[in-house]
Amino acid sequence: MAKGGSVVVFGGTSEIGKRLAIHYATQDRVVIVTSRDRERAEATAGEVGGHCTGISLDLSKPHTIEAALAGIDNVEHLALVAVERDENNLRDYNIDSALNLVTLKLVGYTEAIHVLAPRMHEQGSIVLFGGLAKDRPYPGSITVSTVNGAVSTMVHTLALELSPLRVNAIHPAVVGDSPYWLNKPEGVLEALRARTPSGELITVDEVVDATVFLLENRAVNGVNLRVDGGWMLM
Ligand SMILES: NC(=O)c1ccc[n+]([C@@H]2O[C@H](COP(=O)([O-])OP(=O)(O)OC[C@H]3O[C@@H](n4cnc5c(N)ncnc54)[C@H](OP(=O)(O)O)[C@@H]3O)[C@@H](O)[C@H]2O)c1
């Protein structure tokens, strides 16, 4: 018999999402991981083990989210980890790619919360994933920076409207061992390391640990947590 309410990880097939799911599965919790692809969701649930199941759901199609979440109940924690990156710039602006990311995080995250909040425990909590591109823009980050900035303001309204549920956001810097960055040329990673006071890029496990802190610590509410090894100090 599993313990407590369930933990739903949107974007559970990402390395961060999967290791967060494993954290809770090893604590004997019911865990649900999502992917756009049912087979990938089920395969990930198999890797996570314990009481984990996988469902398919596309956050960039908000009208379909309610039906995709039918049958999920008794929820304690939600983690909204999903992203589809939009490397976009003003000279060669791709409207569809921008709309996809804006819809995924701003409307998709919100609709998923809208659907599941009434099925959550009073002491439940929610974490949204933003990122430090909100403070450290780069050429090509027009949508990513804007969307992460919006995530940081969304948590405030959500925390007020959904009280007593707690809502926080995590804003990681470059996660050095995440698949997106792992395959970058060493020179790129070395330059980033040199600009990080801790001398190391943050890791998937550190992001998972910080996410668990936001989900579990009952004093933390409406917070945007920077997880960056001191990167923003340089
Ligand atoms: N990695 C970093 O360095 C870094 C830095 C700052 C912030 N972040 C944030 O951390 C989070 C995780 O990043 P990551 O690099 O670990 O992600 P990732 O490896 O690129 O994985 C993306 C996840 O999002 C899911 N996804 C993509 N499009 C979706 C859609 N339309 N609907 C539902 N799910 C969708 C993918 O699932 P399927 O493909 O299986 O559908 C996958 O699980 C993101 O929110 C990202 O913005 C990451």
Q: Percent of the chain having pLDDT more than 90?
A: 97
pLDDT (tens digit per residue) in 40-95: 999 999 999 999 999 999 999 999 999 999 999 999 999 999 999 999 999 999 99
Using one digit for the tens of pLDDT, what is the confidence trace for 153-207? 999 999 999 999 999 999 999 999 999 999 899 899 999 999 999 999 999 999 9
Compute, in angstroms, the gap from residue 96 CA to the centroid of ligand 1.
Answer: 18
pLDDT one-digit tens code per residue, 39-55: 999 999 999 999 999 99
Question: How is the beta sheet containing 29-35 ordered, strand by strand?
Answer: 51-56, 29-35, 3-10, 75-80, 120-129, 166-172, 224-227
Token pair 């923003």 is found at 232
Provide the terminal-to-terminal Cα distance of the chain, rounded to the nearest Å: 49
User: What mean pLDDT value characterizes the chain?
Assistant: 97
Query: Is the CB of 131 within 6 Å of ligand 1?
Result: yes
**103-144 pLDDT, tens per residue?**
999 999 999 999 999 999 999 999 999 999 999 999 999 999
DSSP collapsed to 3 states, 136-163: CCCCCEHHHHHHHHHHHHHHHHHHHHHC
Q: What ligand 1 atom has the least distance to the C-alpha of 41?
A: 40
pTM across the whole model: 0.98
The response to whether residue 17 sits with its C-beta less than 6 Å from ligand 1 reads yes
